Every structure is written in C-alpha cells, then in structure tokens.
Amino acid sequence: MSEFASLVEGYKRFRSEAYVQQKARYDSLASDGQSPPVMIISCCDSRVDPATVFDTIPGQVFALRNVANLVPPYETGGGLHGVSAAIEFGVLGLKVRHIVVLGHAQCGGITASLSGSNLGPEARDFVNKWVGIIETAKEAVLASNTPDPQHALELETVKVSLANLRTFPFIAEREKTGMLELHGAYFGIAEGQLHVLDEVTGSFDPQ
Ligand SMILES: [Zn+2]
C-alpha cells in the first residue's frame, strides 16, 4: 500500500469509528463554528503532534505548526507573515484564552540553527533564515559552554517564542488584563515526557 493510500485507509477508519462516536460534536462545530479555547504553537516534526500529545478533541485547539515552533517578533513591514496572521486570527478572531508554545527534543530546526540546515545545493536558505529568529539565543547558549547545546537551545527557543508573542501589542494587552495566558512546554520524544515551563524559575518541570 502506498503512503497516501494508507492515509485514505486511516480516513476510512476515522469516518466509521471516531467520527461516528463524535458526530454530535462535529455537527455542532459545523453549525455553530469553532471556538477553541487554546492555541498551540508547535513544530512540524512528525513525532510531536499536539493533538496526540495532549489527547485533544475536535474544536479544542487552534494549532499552528512551523519549523522549530518559532514566533517572529511583531513587525508589520515586508514579507508574508503566516505565523503572525495565525496569531492575529487566533487571538483577535477566535479569542483563544491560552497560547501554548510546545518545544521538543531532537528538533531538526534547532540542529539547523546550531550547525546549518545542510539541505544541499537546491536549498534556498529558507530554513537558515527562519531559524535566524533564535540567533541571539543560540549565541548565548554556545557562550555558556553547556555540554548539550541542542537541548539547551530547544528549551531556550520556547522562552524566545513566548517573549516574541509578548511583542504583539494585542497579546501584551490581553495578558495584562487576564484575558489571555501564555504557557511554555517541552516534549521529550524518547521518554514521552511533557515538561511545563515555570516562568518564575525558568525551569521545565516534568508532568
Ligand atoms: Zn522540531
């Protein structure tokens, strides 16, 4: 069976099982629209699907995935701001009450930041430019002489994305008034372990 055919097979299982079990929920989501309370910003990595890790139900999470779960700083000039558009839609349109930045172990985007994307002659440096968002954090991690810069930068990246979220005026304002809460988390693939960031201590605590 081809990889795509196995997806269609998966859809058929979903359609005859999970969809049937949740039909009432899908019906109300279709007629009333979505109103997810949570936005999750996570990596494209195939091992870190937020719907799987958090065992969510349809309509619960507005998900944004990109290389290395990065949020660029707020800026309106030039370029096509796909990440900022999703954040604007999630916060101002859907009025999510929580944003979770989910980092993870063995992140290829973090490896690219540390040692270059190494994608061959056809690559146009999209990845290298994208991970430039964490250039300052990378330099700080390397200067600290930590024995595991990959892990250190994976954790630091979650903090950078949270800091960059707070450069969006509508996020800073809503966080101040308690309408919106920001959270950092990290998924360890080998252990299947979720860690949640304590922003007071800066530590990621296993759950
Ligand atoms: Zn990743």
DSSP the chain: --HHHHHHHHHHHHHHTHHHHTHHHHHHHHHH----SEEEEEE--TT--HHHHTT--TTSEEEEEEGGG--PPP--SSS--HHHHHHHIIIIIS--SEEEEEEETT-HHHHHHHH-----TT--SHHHHHGGGGHHHHHHHHHTT-S-HHHHHHHHHHHHHHHHHTTSHHHHHHHHTTS-EEEEEEEETTTTEEEEE-TTT--EEE-
How far apart are the CA of 180 and the centre of ligand 1, in A?
A: 25
How far apart are the CA of 145 and the centre of ligand 1, in A?
A: 22
Query: How far apart are the C-alpha atoms of 71 and 129, rounded to whole Å?
Result: 13
Tell me the chain's radius of gyration from C-alpha atoms. Answer: 18
Per DSSP, what are the bridge partners of residue 83? none
Please check the confidence at residue 1 and state whether its pLDDT lies above 90. no
Same domain for 92 and 15: no
Same domain for 29 and 5: yes
Same domain for 193 and 162: yes
pLDDT at residue number 21: 96
| CA end-to-end span of the chain | 38
How far apart are the CA of 10 and the centre of ligand 1, in A?
A: 24
How far apart are the CA of 1 and the centre of ligand 1, in A?
A: 28
Q: What are phi and psi of 81, to 5 degrees?
A: -95, 75
Same domain for 84 and 23: no
Amino acid at 55: D
How far apart are the CA of 22 and the centre of ligand 1, in A?
A: 31
Query: How far apart are the C-alpha atoms of 129 and 56, rounded to whole Å?
Result: 33
pLDDT at residue number 130: 96
Same domain for 146 and 99: yes
pLDDT at residue number 79: 87
Number of domains in the chain: 2
Same domain for 111 and 161: yes
Cβ atoms of residues 179 and 98 within 8 Å: no
Cβ atoms of residues 176 and 169 within 8 Å: no
Chain segment 73-101, per-residue pLDDT in tens: 999 998 899 999 999 999 999 999 999 99
How far apart are the CA of 25 and the centre of ligand 1, in A?
A: 31
Same domain for 39 and 29: no
Chain segment 3-61, per-residue pLDDT in tens: 999 999 999 999 999 999 999 999 999 999 999 999 999 999 999 999 999 999 999 99
Could you tell me the CATH number of the domain that includes residue 135?
Answer: 3.40.1050.10
Same domain for 4 and 75: no
How far apart are the CA of 67 and the centre of ligand 1, in A?
A: 6
pLDDT at residue number 118: 84
How far apart are the CA of 30 and the centre of ligand 1, in A?
A: 32
Q: What are phi and psi of 99, to 5 degrees?
A: -125, 125
How far apart are the CA of 33 and the centre of ligand 1, in A?
A: 31
Chain segment 153-178, per-residue pLDDT in tens: 999 999 999 999 999 999 999 999 99
Report which of residues 37 and 116 the model is more confident about. Answer: 37
Same domain for 89 and 53: yes
How far apart are the CA of 105 and the centre of ligand 1, in A?
A: 7
Same domain for 91 and 16: no
Domain that holds residue 134: 34-206
Same domain for 39 and 26: no
Confidence band, pLDDT 50/70/90 cuts, at residue 150: very high
Same domain for 92 and 131: yes
Please check the confidence at residue 138 and state whether its pLDDT lies above 90. yes
